[in-house]
Structure 1
Amino acid sequence: MPHILSYVLIGLFGLLAMALDPAQAAGSEPTADSDPAYTEAKAKIAAADYAGALPLLDQLTTDQPDNADAWNLRGFANRKLGNMDVAAVSYSTALKLNPGHLGALEYQGEMYLQLGQSDAAKANLQTLQGLCGNCEEANDLAEAIAEKS
């Protein structure tokens, strides 16, 4: 009987950990990395082929409109290509789906810096620090802000 209780507790802690994991927050697509189109789009972005990634990301956001990760990458690729209006809409959509999306908050903050909106970038940094402390996304945005100052 004590073994059954152990298994039940382990299962409950596992569920709790999943519920608290920001990557699994509402609006995030927990299986995004298993989608071949998403994986291909990420590879193209890693290779700085932003124009090549866009058709994949456009299709993903059409097919999976609740996929915050795809919207975030769509924003990133568009920002890198100078399509700031499309990037802004994509980041806003990602954050509407998942207000705690660390990548979207960082990249949107970087977009704000490019647009000369340092106060908005600093607000994103404060949000990031509140969500994750000194995580990679917060540190990267803080560094970008410091470089612009």
Structure 2
Amino acid sequence: MKRSRHCLRAAVLLAGLTLASSAAAADIPPATELPDLAPIRAQIYAGEFTAAAAELQALSTTVQHADLYNLLGYSLRKLGRHDEAGRWYREALHFDPGHRPALAYQGELFIAIGDIEAAHRNLRYLNLLCTGPSCIERDELHAALTLAGHPPPQDKP
């Protein structure tokens, strides 16, 4: 009985995600070509979030792409600029509703601002999007929730 309820919940969540994605698909603007972000990624890996955010914000005036918006949200979140980070994660998910890194990082933002239910919701979406046994984004958000003292109800992600 418990397993069938879990399957039913998963099916309802998947149906809602599918409907939301297909309904939004007509509204999703086309992404522009993404320039090479390797130098900016290097700044992020080096912890140079201020420089990375400045370059990404400058690029965002001419480039529309979920990867760029996700990296901008990440850099701003690392700088503690949560409201701005949230805006860019939403923008990334507007361009690509199934963008796993944006869902994971937005989930980490939700943890940082205390919206644990929203973080759990993002983890549920990642559970649906990640089909294999290994999924970095799902695993990292699961670990972040657990570290924050709010593990998901089930034992495994």
Please tell me whether residue 63 in structure 1 is matched to residue 62 in structure 2: yes
* Aligned partner of residue 60 in structure 2, secondary structure: helix
Tell me, in whole angstroms, the C-alpha distance in 2 between the residues paired with 1:87 and 1:141.
17
Runs of 4+ in 1 over 3 A off after TM superposition: 26-32
* Aligned partner of residue 97 in structure 2, secondary structure: coil
Q: Which amino acid aligns with 2:45?
A: A
Tell me, in whole angstroms, the C-alpha distance in 2 between the residues paired with 1:108 and 1:51.
19
1:130 aligns with: 128
The structure with the largest alpha-carbon Rg is: 1
Tell me, in whole angstroms, the C-alpha distance in 1 between the residues paired with 2:66 and 2:31.
7
Alignment deviations for residues 109-135 of structure 1 (CA, whole Å, 9 cap, x no partner): 000000011110000000011001441
- Unaligned stretches of 5+ in structure 1? 1-25
Tell me, in whole angstroms, the C-alpha distance in 2 between the residues paired with 1:75 and 1:138.
18
**Structure 1 vs Structure 2: percent identity of aligned residues?**
35
2:106 aligns with: 108
2:11 aligns with: none
CA-CA distance at 1:55 after TM superposition = 1.5
RMSD: 2.0
1:75 aligns with: 73
Tell me, in whole angstroms, the C-alpha distance in 2 between the residues paired with 1:108 and 1:76.
8
CA-CA distance at 1:61 after TM superposition = 1.1
User: Of residues 88, 93, 96 in structure 2, which corresponds to 1:95?
Assistant: 93
TM-score, length basis structure 2 = 0.71
CA-CA distance at 1:60 after TM superposition = 1.5
TM-score, length basis structure 1 = 0.75
1:53 aligns with: 52
Q: Which amino acid aligns with 2:140?
A: D
- Unaligned stretches of 5+ in structure 2? 1-27, 150-157
Alignment deviations for residues 91-145 of structure 1 (CA, whole Å, 9 cap, x no partner): 0000001000010000000000000111100000000110014410000000000
Q: Is the 8 A contact 2:31 2:95 kept in 1?
A: no
Alignment deviations for residues 1-32 of structure 1 (CA, whole Å, 9 cap, x no partner): xxxxxxxxxxxxxxxxxxxxxxxxx7786963
Q: Which amino acid aligns with 2:92?
A: A
Count how many residue pairs are aligned between Structure 1 and Structure 2.
121
Tell me, in whole angstroms, the C-alpha distance in 2 between the residues paired with 1:57 and 1:78.
10
2:41 aligns with: 42
Q: Is the 8 A contact 1:29 1:69 kept in 2?
A: no
* Aligned partner of residue 63 in structure 1, secondary structure: coil
Q: Which amino acid aligns with 1:42?
A: R
